[in-house]
Amino acid sequence: MPKFAANLTMLFNELPFLDRFAAAKSAGFSGVEFLFPYEFEKVVLREKLDRYGLVQVLHNLPAGNWGAGERGIAVLPDRISEFRAGVERAIDYARALDCHQLNCLAGIAPVGIDTGTLHRVFVENLRFAADALARHNIRLLIEAINTRDIPGFFLSGTQQAEDIIAEVGSDNLFIQYDIYHMQIMEGDLAPTIGKHFHRIAHIQLADTPGRHEPGTGEINFPYLLRYLDEIGYAGWVGCEYKPKTATDDSLAWLAGQAIAA
């Protein structure tokens, strides 16, 4: 079965963030991911990873004012300088944490700016980021998000992501495929993953509706996880779901699966 990483933004919320590393290790995970590291000192996060023998699988580029509802700034014409400064900051953290994948959230399309302009800015920013990350052996990922949870999110489909990657023209730009978001937007999960397999570098999961653990909704995860094995997916699968009960109880679906690397 695929190797699973604990998303510490979503899981183990019963604990303060810095205590979640130990909880993930205790639950059997050897990899972790989270949205953002930037409110913590790099040395503190590094110490947690080293103490518990964990791999930092992924985190995001800075994405604007998250608390105010921003969900990325990569498409915003008036935030290019901020985006590019954020790329350098993300690289600094990724190198300290030995993290080899960074995800770029496109952002919500602002009212009053035409789609063509937003697309152009996004492509130019991705070229800059992909080149900058490549110099440090870090992959750049982009993620399509469902527009029910985040209305107006600019990047909302797998083929759209593939087309943007082709236009950017970098061999250091990949897809982060989120099963939850793409079940809402597209369905047809296995054929879509198969079609775009050559560009999928990371997968995240949650069931729908509710964004809870596998087995609580409509997605056939036993089939889907077997399918990932069949097509030779060797990357990580991030458990980015909201536990329906306590986190430890929500992990029952992982029984018998190889959650460690």
Residues serving a catalytic function are 143, 240
- CA distances from residue 30 to 23, 61, 90, 232, 250 in whole angstroms, order as listed: 11, 22, 22, 20, 18
Helix (H) or strand (E) holding 229: helix 221-230
Nearest CA-CA partner of 174 in 136, 206, 202, 193: 202
- CA distances from residue 226 to 59, 177, 190 in whole angstroms, order as listed: 26, 16, 10
DSSP string, 237-252: EEE----SS-HHHHGG
Between CA 130 and CA 113 the distance in angstroms is 25
Nearest CA-CA partner of 176 in 201, 146, 207, 150: 201
For residue 122, count CB atoms less than 10 angstroms from its CB and return exposed for 0-12, middle for 13-18, buried for 19 or more: buried
- Strands 55-60, 3-7: pairing is unpaired
